Amino acid sequence: MFDPLFIAQLLLNGLVVGAAYGLAAIGLTLIFGVLEEVNFAHGELYMLASYSLFAAVSFLGLPYGMAVLLVLPIMALVGFGLSQAAILPNMERPFEVTVLSTLAVAMILQSIVRLTAGSTPVNVDTVFETMTFEIAGILFFGQRVLILIVALLSIIAFAVFLRYSRIGLEMRAVAQNRLACQMVGIDLKRIANWSVVCGVVLTGIAGVTMAPLFDLSPDMGVAIVFKSFAVVIIGGMGSAFGAVVAGILLGVVEAFTTGYGSVAVSEGLFFIIMILVLLIRPHGLFGRTVRI
């Protein structure tokens, strides 16, 4: 079973699946890095974006690209709402309060989607799904490659934004030393709003690109949340690059253990690796200040 084709395919699988894990975690790590708040609504936000995409495609009849353009501003609004309801009021309180508040938002979102869309799973089809290329015996799946591209673009956009925009600068500053920022007059509320909105939009990007891969159901966010936490911890709080690297690392390990062993082994690996990384490098692979 050391067929080079098999190995190459597993490697590619790991890469694309891992990029997806990383992409899904970027939004979480941003909020984590700048505000030091754990957003337990992360999974449900991802789910909301996916369902919004479904609604745009199925009920409004929009093509994939246009549907995405419609969903992202909606996610920005939702992000603003989340910031107002669960993050801003709790910034000066112990972070467990935010954990519970975001958990409450998660429950609310899941219930609303279940009540409006029903429990029957739905799915979104895009043109990328039908594209499967075979190059030198290795299969490339259209949608998955798209995810990889989007993940890479997201890191770049993230880096550019942080580096060259005023808000980005302020976000980095707040991540480093919140107290000092307040002393020099940075409006914490504004930064918090921006961070949460950006984080939620990024999560939304993950949702719309990944939604077509599998079916959608109101409880799909739950699985995302735990894996995203693992990715964020391993990659390092606040580092989008770290998130994608960590995601790919986990994806590749998962692919090989499943490919050679069975699914059983790979499931526990996420957590084992995270625990090991935390023991050796408590701040994750790429540290904790907000940068690329």
Partner 1 sequence: MRILRLISVFSCAMVLSALPVLAADIKIGFPGPITGNLGFLGEHMKWGAQLAADEINTSGGLLGGKKIKIIMGDSKCAPAESVSVVERLISQEKVDVLLGDICSGATLADMPIAKREGRPMLVTISSHPAISEKSGVGGNPWVFRTSPTDAIIGALGGKGVLDQGFKSVAFIAEDTDYGRAGVESMRQVLKGKVNITSTDFTAADQTDFLSVLTRLRSQKPEAIAIYLLDRQLFNFMKQYQQFKLKMPLVGRPPLGSGLVTDLVNSGDFNGSWTVFQYLDSYDSKENTAFVASYKKAYGQRPHFAGFAMYEGIQIIAEAIKSAGSTDPEKVREALKNIKYDSILGKIAFDDHHQAHNSILKMTIIDGKLKVTGVVGQ
Partner 2 sequence: MIPRSPYLIMLWWPILALAIASTGPSQYVLHILIIAGIYVILAQSLHLVLGQLGLLSLGIPAFFGIGAYAETLLSVHFGLDSLLSLVLVAGITFVSGLVIGVPSLRLSSHSFVIVTLSFAMLLQVIAFHWVDVTRGALGFPDIPAPSVLGFSWTDKTSWLIAILILDVVTFAAFIRIKTSRFGRALAATKGNEDLARAVGFSTFRVKLLAFAISGTLAGIAGTAYAHYITFIDPNVFGFSVTENLLIMVVLGGSGTVFGPMIGAVVFTVLPELLRFSPEFRSLLYGVLLLMAMLRFPLGLGELTSRFRRKK
Residues that bind partner 2 (CB under 8 A): 32, 36, 38, 85-86, 89-90, 93-97, 99-101, 103-108, 110-112, 114-115, 222, 226, 229-230, 233, 237, 264, 267-268, 271-272, 274-275, 278-279, 282-283
Minimum separation from the CB atom of position 19 to partner 1 (A): 12
Q: What is the 3-state secondary structure (H, E, C) of the chain?
A: CCCHHHHHHHHHHHHHHHHHHHHHHHHHHHHHHHHCCCCCCHHHHHHHHHHHHHHHHHCCCCCHHHHHHHHHHHHHHHHHHHHHHHHHHHCCCCHHHHHHHHHHHHHHHHHHHHHHHCCCCECCCCHHHHCEEEECCEEEEHHHHHHHHHHHHHHHHHHHHHHHCHHHHHHHHHHHCHHHHHHCCCCHHHHHHHHHHHHHHHHHHHHHHHHHHCCECCCCHHHHHHHHHHHHHHHCCCEHHHHHHHHHHHHHHHHHHHHHCCHHHHHHHHHHHHHHHHHHCCCCCCCCCCEC
| Ramachandran angles phi, psi of 133, nearest 5° | -105, 140
- Residue 5 binding target from partner 1, partner 2, none, CB below 5 to 8 Å by type: partner 1
Minimum separation from the CB atom of position 250 to partner 1 (A): 12
CB nearer to partner 1: pick between 70 and 145: 145
- Residue 219 binding target from partner 1, partner 2, none, CB below 5 to 8 Å by type: partner 1
Minimum separation from the CB atom of position 208 to partner 1 (A): 16
- Residue 129 binding target from partner 2, partner 1, none, CB below 5 to 8 Å by type: partner 1
Minimum separation from the CB atom of position 125 to partner 1 (A): 9
CB nearer to partner 2: pick between 53 and 274: 274
Structure tokens at 101: 């508040």
Q: Which residues bind partner 1 (CB under 8 A)?
A: 1, 3, 5-6, 9-10, 13, 17, 114, 118-121, 123, 129, 132, 139, 141, 213-215, 217-220, 222-223, 254-256, 258-260, 262-264, 266-267
Minimum separation from the CB atom of position 47 to partner 2 (A): 14
CB nearer to partner 1: pick between 53 and 220: 220
Minimum separation from the CB atom of position 11 to partner 1 (A): 10
